């Protein structure tokens, strides 16, 4: 009976084939670090983007001493694929300085993000100026240059370039809310940064400076406004919704990878929509943690509803992704799913 109960428990924990799961796509804190010590409290904003079935987001703030404070998240925006949730918390001048954590959960999935709380008098303001893209519009597969200048305050109203600092470039496709890191670049002597990427799809670019722990002088975080890039391409857009479970467990366990391949249809005189793309081959890729070398772990053919399911062993901690390589690019484009990290112990 013990063996039977064990097997039944495993089956109950296993998601059904084709079942969409909730995924936490991103957790962002603004500002980071949070400046304290002034006369007025500083309200920090915690933004969470989820995908999959709609699920309430709950969260806690964890102070450096381990004490917890609940956060109340409210849905702010929804698209076809994602939802953005937002909560706020006021940090007064007596808030504990140090490393805090925000822990969030939705649909049985949890994520956390560390951020700093620091004395305001020890922080220098920074900003990203002149953020732009060139050329725009751009043809798919051509080079797109992203540039700007990281600056810090040098006087009451004066700003100067901040050299030798890392700026993160972020991108979110149209119809998506979560921003994903694309590249990192180090600023030059004048604080300017320029990086060239391959244009793949239309969407929104932004740049972010998150500070550096080794700096003797600490700077506020800086984020540019989003700038839209229009990519001209043949063929209809495709996208992959993708979830993987369980997120953690023993090495060698099997994880279930499920998702749906969709194609964007824009009928004349009617609203655009996303339709399932059946009878297409998708491949599952795995990148072991820290290796930077990914390899195909399996493939599947989408069903009539565009869905696919694969079960594969987890050999080690690493990143998984599903890719669709279109065999008819003039009709529909290739695409890649978000990356899902699975840990192995």
Q: Cα separation of 21 and 73, whole Å?
A: 20
Number of CB atoms found within 10 A of residue 92's CB: 11
Q: At residue 214, does pLDDT exceed 90?
A: no
DSSP letter, residue 199: -
Residue 217: what pLDDT? Answer: 78
How does pLDDT run across 226-243, given as a tens digit for each residue? 999 999 998 999 999 999
DSSP letter, residue 14: S
Place of tokens 């062993």: 313
Residue 221: what pLDDT? Answer: 87
Per cent of the chain over pLDDT 70 is 93
Q: What are the backbone angles phi and psi of residue 101, rounded to the nearest 5°? A: -135, 145
Query: Is 54 buried (19+), middle (13-18) or exposed (0-12) by CB count in 10 A?
Result: exposed
Number of H helices, E strands in the chain: 1, 32
Q: Cα separation of 86 and 104, whole Å?
A: 11
281: helix, strand or coil: strand
pTM for this predicted structure: 0.87
How does pLDDT run across 120-144, given as a tens digit for each residue? 887 888 999 999 999 999 999 999 9
Residue 155: what pLDDT? Answer: 78
Q: Give yes or no for a contact between 88 and 38, defined as CB atoms under 8 angstroms apart.
A: no
Which tokens sit at 37? 């010590």
121: helix, strand or coil: helix
DSSP letter, residue 164: S
Residue 290: what pLDDT? Answer: 66
What rounded mean pLDDT belongs to the chain?
91
Give the C-alpha distances (Å, rounded to integers) separating 308 from 175, 228, 242, 262: 22, 32, 9, 11
- Give the residues across from 45 on adjacent strands: 30, 88
How does pLDDT run across 149-205, given as a tens digit for each residue? 999 998 777 999 999 999 999 999 988 999 999 999 999 999 999 999 999 999 999
Number of CB atoms found within 10 A of residue 256's CB: 18
N- to C-terminal Cα separation, the chain: 28
Q: At residue 49, does pLDDT exceed 50?
A: yes
Per cent of the chain over pLDDT 90 is 79
Selected residue with higher pLDDT from 16 and 336: 336
Residues contacting 53, CB < 8 A, separation 6+? 20, 21, 22, 107
95: helix, strand or coil: coil
Residue 202: what pLDDT? Answer: 94
* Torsion, Cα of 28, 29, 33, 37 (10° steps): 180
Residue 116: what pLDDT? Answer: 92
Query: Is 234 buried (19+), middle (13-18) or exposed (0-12) by CB count in 10 A?
Result: exposed
Cis status of the peptide bond prior to 137, with omega within 30 of 0: yes
Could you give the count of Cα atoms lying within 13 Å of 342 in the half-sphere of its Cβ?
26
181: helix, strand or coil: strand
User: How many residues are given for the chain?
Assistant: 345
Nearest in space to 341 (alpha carbons), one of 290, 282, 302: 290
Number of CB atoms found within 10 A of residue 6's CB: 10
């Amino acid at each position: 009976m013990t063996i039977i109960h064990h097997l039944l428990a495993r089956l109950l924990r296993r998601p059904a084939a084709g079942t969409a799961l909730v995924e936490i796509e991103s957790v962002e804190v603004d500002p980071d670090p949070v400046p304290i010590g002034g006369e007025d409290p500083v309200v920090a904003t915690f933004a969470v983007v989820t995908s999959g079935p709609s699920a309430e987001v709950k969260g806690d703030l964890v102070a450096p001493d381990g004490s917890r404070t609940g956060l109340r998240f409210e849905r702010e925006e929804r698209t076809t694929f994602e939802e953005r949730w937002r909560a706020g918390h006021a940090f007064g001048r007596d808030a504990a300085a140090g490393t805090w954590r925000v822990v969030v959960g939705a649909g049985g999935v949890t994520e956390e993000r560390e951020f700093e709380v620091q004395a305001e008098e020890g922080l220098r303001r920074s900003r990203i100026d002149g953020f732009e893209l060139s050329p725009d519009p751009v043809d798919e597969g051509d080079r797109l240059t992203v540039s700007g200048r990281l600056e810090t305050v040098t006087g009451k109203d004066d700003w100067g370039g901040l050299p030798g600092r890392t700026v993160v470039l972020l991108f979110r496709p149209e119809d998506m809310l979560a921003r994903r890191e694309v590249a990192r670049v180090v600023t030059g002597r004048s604080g300017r940064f320029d990086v060239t990427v391959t244009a793949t799809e239309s969407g929104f670019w932004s740049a972010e400076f998150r500070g550096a722990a080794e700096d003797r002088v600490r700077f506020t975080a800086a984020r540019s406004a989003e700038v839209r890039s229009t990519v001209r391409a043949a063929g209809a857009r495709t996208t992959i919704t993708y979830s993987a479970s369980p997120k953690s467990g023993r090495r060698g366990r099997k994880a279930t990878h499920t998702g749906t391949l969709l194609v964007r249809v824009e009928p004349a005189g009617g609203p655009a929509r996303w339709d399932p793309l059946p009878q297409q081959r998708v491949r599952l890729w795995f990148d072991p943690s820290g290796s930077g070398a990914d390899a195909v772990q399996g493939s599947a053919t989408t069903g009539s509803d565009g869905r696919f399911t694969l079960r594969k062993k987890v050999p080690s901690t690493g990143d998984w992704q599903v890719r669709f390589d279109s065999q008819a690019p003039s009709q529909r484009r290739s695409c890649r799913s978000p990356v899902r990290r699975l840990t192995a112990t």
